[in-house]
Amino acid sequence: MEGVHPMVMQRLLETNLEQTTGYGSDGYCEHARQLIRHSLGDDSLDVHFLVGGTQTNSTVIDAILCRNEAVLSAETGHINVHEAGAVEGWGHKIITLPSHSGKISAIELKSLIDSFYSDDTYTHMVPPGMLYISYPTEYGTLYSKSELEQIHSVCKDAGIPLFIDGARLGYGLTSDSCDISIAELPKLCDVFYIGGTKVGLLFGECVVARKGLLKNFFPQTVKRHGALLAKGRLLGVQFETLFTPQENGQPLYLEISRHAVSLAMELKKGFIEHGYRPFIDSPTNQQFFVLPNSVIEHLREHASFENWGAPGKEESQVRFVTSWATRPEDVKELLDLL
């Protein structure tokens, strides 16, 4: 991974010796919040900046759930697999739903909730208190607008908020398979975050919630989770740059995301042309292939990518990830190695 997008670095440099107040109370944060609300077309939204993804997930979930409630998640959800038990560390159960290439189904969700309340022993069980999904998912897949509407509708009927983990949000919104715009997102859920760490920033995740959802003690929850950045303006300066409209009227955030997705599509096409099989059909910046172990070994000498799960005997599952910083020649070079 690289550091930060050069335009953001430039702004950090320019503002470095300015004096501001701390903890997010400065003008940069305020301006960034305005730009983001503007991009989302809703001035009433509640906007907060945090540092990292696991931290954001555990803070938002802990702020929303009552002590007794569980968060629902696909069994492949990041909070269930790769956050070292942060959600449970704060006392909350994760109830899992089947994962369909990383996605949950509105029907299975409704069925789980209905079963809960028709069970005689439900006072011995943990009531669903919110739903967590990721967009794109951990497998690079995307919900359609209609799927999101159905899921949100089940949540509303059950009175539980829908939380979307957008650690890779840009790479979803700029996929050819995406049928929603960023401005539609606040209507399709109750709270989500715009991932910056994976999309051009040094670090930073921007939580967007419908007004009133994150109760008035949210700042204390953030502090309690060790998630309050002392020099909060670093988040403001970074997100301000990401959400300042470029010449074409689009925020930098979407521009650089589109670049990564486009290279991922080339990479995918190349692998398929060389006869390799994607085990997930991802339309975003993560690409998943089954490769012979010998090929994996060969590629590892030149490129960095991950095993996905435990390796197999003859062939293994691997994941390639492009980013705002990937260059066309990097993809070409990799494909040439095949």
Report the site for its own copies in 287-326 (rule: CB under 8 A). 304, 306-307, 309-311, 325
Peptide bond just before 219 cis, omega within 30 deg: no
Residue 70 in contact with its own copies, rule: CB under 8 A: yes
Alpha carbon distance 151, 158 (integer Å): 11
Decide: 205 and 197 in contact? Cβ < 8 Å.
yes
Beta carbon of residue 273, minimum distance to its own copies (angstroms, whole number): 26
Q: How far apart are the first and last CA of the chain?
A: 22
Q: Which is nearer to its own copies, 170 or 283 (CB)?
A: 170
| DSSP, residue by residue, 190-216 | SEEEEE-TTTTSSS-EEEEE-TTSS-T
Cα four-point dihedral sign 212, 194, 254, 284: negative
Residue 15 in contact with its own copies, rule: CB under 8 A: yes
Q: Using CB under 8 A, which of 168, 198, 258, 259 touches its own copies?
A: 198
Residue 41 in contact with its own copies, rule: CB under 8 A: no
Alpha carbon distance 301, 296 (integer Å): 9
Q: Which is nearer to its own copies, 41 or 219 (CB)?
A: 219
Pairing of strands 70-74, 128-134: parallel
Q: Which is nearer to its own copies, 195 or 251 (CB)?
A: 195
Q: By CB under 8 A, what part of segment 147-176 binds its own copies?
A: none
Beta carbon of residue 123, minimum distance to its own copies (angstroms, whole number): 4
Residue 197 in contact with its own copies, rule: CB under 8 A: yes
Residue 194 in contact with its own copies, rule: CB under 8 A: no
Site size with its own copies, rule: CB under 8 A: 84
Q: By CB under 8 A, what part of segment 207-266 binds its own copies?
A: 215, 217, 219-221, 223-231, 233-234
The strand order across the sheet containing 46-50 reads: 46-50, 205-209, 191-195, 162-165, 128-134, 70-74, 94-97
Q: Which is nearer to its own copies, 37 or 233 (CB)?
A: 233
Query: Which window, 39-47, 122-130, 140-148, 184-192, contacts its own copies (CB under 8 A)?
Result: 122-130
Beta carbon of residue 208, minimum distance to its own copies (angstroms, whole number): 19
Beta carbon of residue 308, minimum distance to its own copies (angstroms, whole number): 9
Q: Which is nearer to its own copies, 84 or 107 (CB)?
A: 84
Q: Using CB under 8 A, which of 22, 27, 292, 328 touches its own copies?
A: 22
Say which residues have a Cβ less than 8 Å from residue 49's Cβ, sequence separation at least 6. Answer: 24, 29, 32, 204, 205, 206, 207, 229, 232, 235, 236, 239
Q: Using CB under 8 A, which of 46, 100, 179, 202 touches its own copies?
A: 202
Which residue has tokens 């439900």? 122
Beta carbon of residue 17, minimum distance to its own copies (angstroms, whole number): 5
Cα four-point dihedral sign 225, 205, 214, 192: negative
Alpha carbon distance 297, 294 (integer Å): 5
Q: Which helix (H) or strand (E) holds 121?
A: none
Q: Tell which residue, 73, 286, 300, has the closest CA to residue 198.
A: 286
Beta carbon of residue 187, minimum distance to its own copies (angstroms, whole number): 28
Beta carbon of residue 325, minimum distance to its own copies (angstroms, whole number): 7
Q: By CB under 8 A, what part of segment 45-64 binds its own copies?
A: 51-56, 58-59, 62-63
